[in-house]
A and B are shown apart, each in its own frame.
Chain A
Amino acid sequence: MRQPTLLTRLRPWFAGLLAGAAGLVYATGGQAAEPALVDADVRAIQNELRRPHAKAILVNVWATWCEPCRTEMPAILAFHRAHLAEGLRLVLISADDETERAQAAGFLAAQGVDFPTFIKRGDDMRFIDALDPRWSGALPASFLFDGRGRLRERWYGEVTRAELDRALQRLSKRKP
């Protein structure tokens, strides 16, 4: 039987170290490798909202050219990091065009985002109404869904960390 080499023995440790480093980068808000920007139409977004095992889902629609979107992003990410262990899922959807994909990915990486996010494709109206029929389509916009995909709170315009924390607290007190 071949004896395990030093490299073989150390491989699981390296894998764990890399995973931990990635998590540490996100947890501390450091620069990450560019996250995947997945093309998402209405169906993909609806499927994401129906994906199980989340206590709450915050959807944020943003774009690189939207200054308030960029301004609020650190607060949204800090909110996500603080409540990740409690079952909060964050769904970031970029409204950038294909020509802006690289900028979008670069911006997210600079914010420390290392999980897949979405870039909207398809008809605007269907997308807007699928998230919230009351929404005019103005950016930025954020939507808090409960674990069953029901819309509970919405923010049209920039949102603050304090507002998000309070909203999540209200949601946690609601009967399922």
Chain B
Amino acid sequence: MKITIAVAGMLAAALATLATGAAAHAAPEAKNALPLGSSIPSATVKMKSVDGKAVSIRDVAGKRGTLVVFTCNHCPYAKAWEKRIAELANGAAKQGIGAILVNPNDPTNYPDDGFDEMQKRALALHLEVPYVVDDTSNVARAFGATVTPEAFLFGANGKLVYHGTIDDNRADPDQVTAPYLRDALAAVAGGRAPATKETKSLGCGIKFRPRP
């Protein structure tokens, strides 16, 4: 009953929005997020990793899939999920899924997102995958990413099969009832489409760098 009401509510909200044609004032950088089935955008753009190497998404792509997570150091939501993100990213490689964490934020007003701090965080989290700087924020723009953290999982054919959040409880890992990204990774590793393909959660808006 509750699920029916929730679905009805969501449908009503969606229809109302479409019907009213509400005007949208998005941040200039925002555009619609990458639709399911899309190829990896900016796949060959080199980004500086915390180990000093220049890495592209294509460089890390796995045989079974590729995970791209836009995340950062300063956002409380990203911090709440960072251990889980690290664990999932590290584990993805063992399943044949390449992974990369991308920090798209301008550190000018958010010094915690500076390169030195990223290096410290990667060490603290025992990250085994690249944590890179999107130094123009254009990779994030290409993905239509708007929030941290935000995950994009591509299948073996390089097409987007999951987009969204990590799970349904950022505050308490022990209270998670819907491990969305973990389930999506398991599905992709098994050559299946994720059951849940798109999710959302509240989070920090990406602090885009000004366009040149």
Contacts and interface: CB of A to CB of B under 8 A. Distances in A.
Nearest to B24: A154
A35 B147 CA distance: 29
B33 interface: yes
Contacts of B23: 152-154, 167, 170
Given A129-B10, A136-B33, A150 B20 contact: yes
A130 B202 contact: no
Contact of A126 (B6, B16, B165): B6
Contacts of A156: 24-27, 30, 146, 205
Nearest to B10: A129
B209 to A, nearest CB: 14
Nearest to A46: B9
Interface stretch (A17-25, A63-71, A76-84): A63-71
Interface in B54-89: 76
B20 A157 contact: no
Interface residues of B, number: 33
A91 B24 CA distance: 19
B118 interface: no
Contact of A125 (B22, B76, B199, B204): B199
Contact of A154 (B9, B22, B165, B205): B22
Contacts of A120: 202
Nearest to A64: B76
A152 to B, nearest CB: 5
B135 interface: no
B204 A139 contact: yes
B109 interface: yes
Contacts of A137: 147, 165, 200-203
A135 B27 CA distance: 12
Interface string A140-164: 1000000000111111111100010
- Chain A CB within 10 A, most for which of B13, B19, B168, B199: B13
Given A137-B200, A138-B206, 14 more contacts: A42-B6, A124-B202, A125-B168, A128-B202, A129-B9, A130-B10, A133-B17, A136-B147, A136-B200, A137-B202, A138-B146, A138-B205, A151-B22, A153-B23
30 contacts: A65-B76, A66-B205, A120-B202, A124-B165, A124-B201, A128-B202, A129-B9, A129-B13, A130-B13, A132-B13, A133-B13, A135-B200, A136-B150, A137-B147, A137-B201, A137-B202, A137-B203, A138-B146, A138-B202, A139-B204, A139-B205, A150-B20, A151-B16, A151-B17, A151-B20, A153-B23, A153-B25, A154-B22, A154-B24, A156-B30
Interface of A: 42, 46, 61, 63, 65-68, 95, 97, 120, 123-140, 150-159, 163, 167, 170
